[in-house]
Structure 1
Amino acid sequence: MTRRLLVLYTGGTIGMDHTPDGLAPVPGLLPRLLERFQSAELTFDVLEYPELIDSSAITPAHWNRIIGDIAGRYDAYDGFVVIHGTDTMAYTASALAFALQGLGKPVVVTGSQLPLVHPRSDGWSNLADALEAACQPDLCEVAIAFNRLLLRGCRARKLDAASFAGFDSPNAPPLARFGIKADWQRQHWLVLPGPFRPVTLREDVRVAAFFLTPGAGTALIGQTLAEQRLDGAVLMSYGNGNAPAEAGLLAGVADATASGMLVVNISQVVHGAVEVGAYAASQPLARAGALAGADLTPEAAVAKLTVLCSQELSPQERREAMQRALVGEMTLLPD
């Protein structure tokens, strides 16, 4: 059976070429190079965006464009591949995972560390794996294909800018490993109820992340939370969710929570999770109203808050949704 895919080309290193000013996107280049993947079993259309961006420039408006293009063509294709720069790939994959609610088809995000025109480009294998994954009818989630791995999009992080092993999902197993044959880890794939109901993001949503450090920055974070009326905040604390019992920080978290803002406490460490009660130092933030984010990645935490704050939900409904695993984004600890 022939599978029909839509490839959305948003920009990134993979489609760049050498110009007098250095590497830059070249319109039309990547769609031409992709033609070698067309076959009797696989056909696809390429939608090249008119403004090919470096992914460091990504905004919720760009996410809405991708969401809208998938939603508007959802019934016409068996799966979707999103070609994207690596810097914010994990943020985009997470945003799509939460916004494409009730997804019943594969959406696979990929890119490369070196452009396709480079003789050692990793882009060819990443594209081949992404296209094969997007042909799997029982893959009903957003994933990242990179360096012979298929990772859950809302679990993945960019961890290396100097090697081809750019991405991993530190607290979750891969969805597939690609060797001579694809090793599909279907026991880890999501089975979520439909129907497909994509969420359009509020492009003015105010979600910010704060990295806790020793010293004056602790009180400054509290002051910012109290004074800046954000829609949501991610607080990256130490270890298992620990933070100093600094009066300014705790007052800011309490003020923000009382105003209806969601403050989510996640860990700075790559492996592990926030465990309130594991240490006494984890208790003050929880008492001030911060929600324990388990092993959410920073990218998933920001994306989840952005999508929840874009919906017509009450503060309590948002709090409850933040503490549930909606698309496999976190491992919940037993009560």
Structure 2
Amino acid sequence: MKKKILLIATGGTIASRNSGNGLTPLIRAEEILSYIPDVYEICSPAAVQICNIDSTNMEPKHWKMLTEAVKDHYDEYDGFVIAHGTDTMAYTGAALSYMIQNSSKPIVITGAQKSIDLEITDAKINLLDSFRYAADEQSQGVQIVFGGKVIAGTRARKIRSKSYNAFDSIDFPFLAMIQDGRIMRYIPAIPYEEPVAFYEKMNDNIFLMKLIPGISPKGLWFLFEQYDAIIVESFGVGGIPASISDMFYEMYESHPEKVIIMATQVTHEGSDMTVYEVGNKIKKECRFLESYDMTLEAVIAKTMWLLANKATGKSDIDQLFYRKINYDLIFNVFSD
């Protein structure tokens, strides 16, 4: 019997047509299926539409809608394919990795760089690959399938704005490749020991502070007053420059309940605040969390998730932040 796979459409380039002012999502879920008749040889598909937006407008409320759609139909279907715009796809992949955990059924996110109604497009092959992966017996959890690559939801990043090979897996192998209709797995799926868990709350009251040379301390007081967590996107392996270090420490002392996370602007190899004095000193004084080898998209989504769902105190937050979920963290934080 063919697997039952549900297409959940959200809009994006894959569903766009030219409106006269540029591309905008206009193609609905059922019409998307009509462009890939070969899908009926792979599985028994169905489709629902939860929104029809450019992924630039994707917000945590839409992640909640996606989570609810999967939860509501979880017992009816063997897998799910989410059609999504590419610009924020990595954020959604990370967010759903935390909002839908331990899923024995695959939740595959895909999209395209060209609309599905064009003669030359990557949309059809990406969709067919996604349905093929979702219908495979060995697939599970939240993944992104794009350009023949299967990427863990927490490890994806859009690295090209126009090319078909738009996505890469950051500091982690592809889970599989799909070529000529065949799935070649590099990392075998390990069955989850716990049942699927759905989390529908996300706390988006966080701020990403990108450091630039000569950054001014003006506004730090506002960030500490207004936000529950501050993610510092630092240079290199991580540190706080002298131009803001005194004010940063003063604000932290006044707001010890705030969650402060050190990330890096560098794509590969992650953070390590112990390397330089600019990082080591303030980490001891301010109890920074570190992203280590996590992607920035995963850090942002995980922070939203843990603040909303589990955290009861600073020690609880520390333990949750470093709990490995869907391959998001390889570094062994508690090795000592």
1:95 corresponds to: 95
d(CA) in 1 for partners of 2:251, 2:162: 38
Matches within 5 A, 1:171-182: 171-180=171-180, 181-182=182-183
Equivalent AA in structure 1 for residue 34 of structure 2: R
d(CA) in 2 for partners of 1:145, 1:162: 17
Matches within 5 A, 1:200-211: 200-202=200-202, 205-211=204-210
Q: Is the 8 A contact 1:67 1:200 kept in 2?
A: yes
2:129 corresponds to: 129
Equivalent AA in structure 1 for residue 225 of structure 2: E
Equivalent AA in structure 1 for residue 81 of structure 2: V
Task: Report the CA distance between 1:223 and its aligned residue.
Answer: 2.7
d(CA) in 2 for partners of 1:321, 1:62: 24
Task: Report the CA distance between 1:107 and its aligned residue.
Answer: 0.6
d(CA) in 1 for partners of 2:191, 2:220: 40
d(CA) in 1 for partners of 2:273, 2:21: 51
1:185 to 1:222, Cα distance in 2 relative to 1, 3 A: same
1:262 corresponds to: 259
d(CA) in 1 for partners of 2:138, 2:219: 44
Q: Is the 8 A contact 1:190 1:327 kept in 2?
A: no
Equivalent AA in structure 2 for residue 79 of structure 1: G
Question: SS at the partner of 1:62?
Answer: helix
1:186 corresponds to: 187
Q: Is the 8 A contact 1:78 1:137 kept in 2?
A: no
Task: Report the CA distance between 1:185 and its aligned residue.
Answer: 1.6
Percent sequence identity over matched residues? Answer: 27
The total of aligned residue pairs comes to: 327
Map Cα deviations across residues 220-252 of structure 1 (whole Å, 9 max, x no partner): 464343222x22221111111233242112333
Q: Is the 8 A contact 2:97 2:325 kept in 1?
A: no
1:307 to 2:285 alignment: no
d(CA) in 2 for partners of 1:317, 1:99: 18
1:80 to 2:77 alignment: no
1:17 corresponds to: 17
Task: Report the CA distance between 1:138 and its aligned residue.
Answer: 2.8
1:213 to 2:212 alignment: yes
Q: Tell me which moved more, 243-252 or 69-78.
A: 243-252
1:244 to 2:248 alignment: no
In structure 1, stretches of 5+ residues that fail to align are none
Q: Is the 8 A contact 2:102 2:194 kept in 1?
A: yes
**TM-score under structure 1 length normalisation:** 0.91
Q: Is the 8 A contact 1:266 1:295 kept in 2?
A: no
Equivalent AA in structure 1 for residue 297 of structure 2: E
Q: Is the 8 A contact 1:234 1:298 kept in 2?
A: no
1:234 corresponds to: 231
Task: Report the CA distance between 1:10 and its aligned residue.
Answer: 0.5
1:37 to 2:39 alignment: yes
1:323 to 1:3, Cα distance in 2 relative to 1, 3 A: same
Q: Is the 8 A contact 1:105 1:137 kept in 2?
A: no
2:296 corresponds to: 298
d(CA) in 1 for partners of 2:84, 2:8: 9
Task: Report the CA distance between 1:71 and its aligned residue.
Answer: 0.7
1:186 to 1:93, Cα distance in 2 relative to 1, 3 A: same
**TM-score under structure 2 length normalisation:** 0.91
